[in-house]
Amino acid sequence: MSENYKVLIDLFPENTQEGFDTEALLTIWDEKEDFNALMQKASDDMIKLTSVIEDAEDIRGTLKQFMWSNCKACHSRYREEH
């Protein structure tokens, strides 16, 4: 999953703002540096998650901290509502 987040950084080049049927908001292009930073953080957090998950006493809390919070941050800011 860490690599998947890195791939997302390159999927929204400047010339792709229009003409594609996606659920991406224009905010991705307007805030490209912030989006890229969030994707890098999510990638880094996936690596951290693999190193702490086995010893975590609160697996739900650990998943929330290192994975779901990143998913929610991205989807609520850069993706259309379903």
Which pLDDT does position 14 carry in this prediction?
87
Q: Residue 32's domain spans which residues? A: 2-10+24-78
Is residue 19 in a domain? no
Is residue 30 in a domain? yes
Round the average pLDDT of the chain to a whole number and report it.
91
Q: Is 2 left (phi over 0), alpha (psi -120 to 50) or beta?
A: alpha
Our count of domains for the chain comes to 1
- Tell me: pLDDT of 63 over 90: yes
- Tell me: pLDDT of 82 over 80: no
> What share of the chain in percent tops pLDDT 70?
99
- Tell me: pLDDT of 80 over 80: yes
Is residue 56 in a domain? yes
Cα-to-chain-centroid distance, residue 33: 13
Residue 2: name the closest of 42, 33, 36, 62 by CA. Answer: 42
Is residue 16 in a domain? no
Residue with tokens 């690596």: 47
Is residue 15 in a domain? no
Band of pLDDT at residue 45, cut at 50, 70 and 90 = very high
Is residue 72 in a domain? yes
**Any bridge partners for residue 24, and if so which?**
79
